[in-house]
A and B are shown apart, each in its own frame.
Chain A
C-alpha cells in the first residue's frame, strides 16, 4: 500500500464549478500535511498547509481527519488557471522531516 494515495483523475470541470479532491495516508504518526500544486514540467509549489481544524484560503478549503487518516481539498468557483496537478503531501515524525508525495490528482478546468 502506498504511503499517500490519491485518485489520479483527471477531473474535468467547467469554470465556476466546485471540485473536491481526497487523499489518504497510511502512517498514523504523520505530523504535517500539505497540498502542493504542480504545473506541467514545473516544480511543485505549496498551495496550503492542512490543519485538523480545517483552513481556508480564498476559494480553497483544506480539511484533515486524523482518525480516518484522510485529507481533502475543496476548490470553489474553479478558474481556468486552476488547471494543474494537486499533490497531497505528508511529513512524518522521523528525522530529516521527509516529505512523502501522493501521485497527484489532475484537474482540468474548461471554459
Chain B
C-alpha cells in the first residue's frame, strides 16, 4: 500500500524556537495533504489542507502565521511551528490521499514537546 513518511518522529525544542516537520509520500504523488493535531485523549483535529503549488487552507481557529505550511512538490509538504510555546506541545500527524481519493494514508506522527 501507499506509504507516507513523516519526520522527525519526536522533537523537543525551547520556547520561542521554530520546528519544521516533513511529510513525504514515498510511492505516490499527493496533490493534497492534510495536517492534524492530537492532544492527549482527544480526537485528531484537522489544522489545514496543504495543496501542491498553492496556499494552504486553514481550519477556523488555526493561526496561519504560526503554522506555516509549504507544499512545494507532489511528494513533500512541510509544517513549521513558529515561535513555539509549551501549549503547542502535541502529536502532529500528516496524511495524504491517493489519486483515487478512496483512502487516506497517515505519516507516523511527530510528538512535539516545547519546554
Residues of A within 8 A of B (CB): 8, 32, 41-46, 49, 87, 96-104
Task: Please tell me if the beta carbons of B49 and A43 are within 8 angstroms of each other in the complex.
Answer: no
Task: Please tell me if the beta carbons of A43 and B107 are within 8 angstroms of each other in the complex.
Answer: yes
Measured CA separation A99–B34 after assembly (Å): 9
**Supplied contacts A43-B108, A87-B43, 11 more A-B pairs, CB within 8 Å:** A41-B91, A44-B44, A49-B103, A96-B51, A96-B57, A97-B32, A97-B101, A98-B49, A99-B95, A101-B43, A104-B43
Task: Kindly identify, within residues 49 to 108 of chain B, every residue whose CB is under 8 Å from any CB belonging to chain A.
Answer: 49, 51, 57, 91, 93, 95, 97, 101-104, 106-108
Q: Which residues of B contact A87 (CB under 8 A)?
A: 43-44
Instruction: Bin the interface of chain B by size.
Output: 20 to 34
With known contacts A41-B111, A98-B49, A103–B95 Cβ distance under 8 A: no
The 7 closest A-B pairs by CB, nearest first: A43-B106, A103-B43, A101-B44, A101-B43, A43-B109, A96-B49, A43-B108
- Which of A44, A96, A100, A102 lies in contact with B106, CB distance below 8 A? A44
Closest to B45 in A: A101
- Give A87 Cβ to nearest chain B Cβ, in Å: 7
Closest to A98 in B: B46
- Which of A41, A45, A49, A97 lies in contact with B97, CB distance below 8 A? A97
Task: Please tell me if the beta carbons of B104 and A99 are within 8 angstroms of each other in the complex.
Answer: yes
Task: Please tell me if the beta carbons of A102 and B34 are within 8 angstroms of each other in the complex.
Answer: no
